[in-house]
Amino acid sequence: MQINDSIPVILAALRHWQRSIEQGHDLSAYADIVDPGALSVDEIDSLCESINTQSQSQPRDVYQVVTLSKAHLSFDDIAVLEWSAGQNMIMESETGFFVKLYEDDSNGAGSANYRDGYSDTLKGIIRWAHDSGYRMIEFDSDGMKLERFPSYE
């Protein structure tokens, strides 16, 4: 779950806390996780307004990118990516590739992001990245190597 998906729940919790303060409820039971007097009713109003403003002003096309070592790509994966570069969702750079991932994976397990010829390793990287919330993978010669995936250099 992304933080933006949780904003309505966060706002509802803040408003509930605000009403509890206004109605004079004893909030001491929460003292082990939060100072019951940390926010006033007016401060909660300001905080909710700020959260609303920031969440509405964020562009919808913002997504996370992970940069991985190009060494995780087999010779065949490199050939498929080179052939696919310039087509939808794949771009080539001087030092590697960018693979954009579909947000909605209605087929499950990342399969909407697979192409013919991808190795099991590349499919595993795509599945891991998608499940981790990334929506683009940059394969670069200086990218990080993950122990969980083989290296082909």
pLDDT of residue 59: 60
Helix ranges (H only) for the chain are 3-22, 41-57, 75-84, 120-131
pLDDT higher than 60, residue 1: no
Q: Residue 67: CB partners within 8 Å, gap ≥ 6?
A: 137, 138, 139, 140, 142, 143, 144
Q: What is the pTM of this model?
A: 0.59
φ, ψ for residue 42 (rounded to 5)?
-65, -40
pLDDT of residue 61: 66
pLDDT of residue 13: 84
Q: What is the pLDDT of residues 88-136, one digit of tens each?
A: 789 999 899 999 988 765 555 556 778 788 899 999 999 888 888 888 9
pLDDT higher than 70, residue 14: yes
Q: What is the pLDDT of residues 37-83, one digit of tens each?
A: 888 888 888 888 888 777 666 566 677 889 999 999 999 999 999 99
Please state the domain extents for the chain.
3-57, 64-140
